[in-house]
Amino acid sequence: MTDTLELACDGLRCQIEPALGGCIRGLWRDDVPVLRLPPAGPLASARAAGCYPLVPFSNRIAHATLKWQGTSHPLIQNNGAEPHAIHGVGWQAAWAVLDRDDQFAMLSFEHRKNSAWPFAFDASQTFRVRPGVLELTLSITNQSGMPAPAGLGWHPFFVKRARSHIAFEATGRWEMGDDKLPTRRSTSQGLDTDCAALDVDHCFDGWTGVVDLHDELLHTRVTSNLHHLVVFTHATRDSVAIEPVSHVNNAINLMDSTGVAADALGVRVLQAGESMTAQMSIHTEPAR
């Protein structure tokens, strides 16, 4: 098992667990946690980490059944008793370290067709720390020999301290049913609100690619080239998940059931050998 990697630059420190889903164990600015603190001792799952990659899809595929080009593909229910497939397969795989130094790391993961996902692909991640910012990329290449759906994203959990305030702009929000699946799209301008009593678990579309999170210690800004954003928190949680993603929750199956085009839902259809890349940066500075 590959040991924890630590990158550091000018007071910013990032710990990465390649063997545990290529996840970020923790991120600190001058010893102030930016992402939720990891539990003491070894992590049992990437789901307990500060952030993990979402590949080849984000959020849920309804009832662990992928409907693609007229065929239903049964998938693994990969999150305990939950009936859906969730967050892709990369977060449950070991990633290889291709390159690293004190401020940079590159990881890779090869997936071959199996019951968790019926299309082969290669994925890679890069992590780079610079003064005040962690820069991430996530890429996927379709190795299946046929057109395949693809999506990317990240699932970071940011510390929800006293007086935490989140602000971002969007054009729409997908309402959620009791089964944690999207039901309909409504118009939304995003959020500009305190986090303490916020109760949200939604995907926003038309996101401008910038989120600001202010609290008593830090100003954190998340930027991305993606245009969908999942935000999840409620009053009893000590973190807020701010997830840049490429597509709507359950988007591939929504294409099948509604006839809405892939582009409208954010799904990329990769031809054999074709790739896509996502970018995210986490900027931090002391609160003013």
Measured torsion, CA atoms of residues 58, 175, 66, 18, in degrees rounded to the nearest 10: 10
Calpha distance 175→182 (Å, rounded): 6
What local confidence, expressed as pLDDT, does residue 75 receive? 98
The token pair that represents 159 in the structure block: 């510390």
Q: Residue 239 CA to chain centroid, in angstroms?
A: 15
Q: What is the pLDDT of residue 218?
A: 98
CATH code for the part of the protein at 5-286: 2.70.98.10
pLDDT at position 23 is 98
Query: Are 181 and 252 a contacting pair, CB within 8 Å?
Result: no
pLDDT value of position 1: 43
Euclidean distance between CA atoms 60 and 13, whole angstroms: 31
Low-confidence ranges of the chain (pLDDT < 50): 1
Q: Are 226 and 209 in contact (CB under 8 A)?
A: yes
pLDDT in tens, 107-147: 999 999 999 999 999 999 999 999 999 999 999 999 999 99
**Where do the domains of the chain lie?**
5-286
Beta-carbon contacts of 13 under 8 Å, excluding residues fewer than 6 positions away, are 6, 7, 26, 27, 28, 31, 129
The kind and range of the H/E element at 94 are none
pLDDT number for residue 276 = 98
Sequence-distant (6+) residues with CB within 8 A of 20 are: 43, 45, 46, 49, 94
* pLDDT for res 65: 97
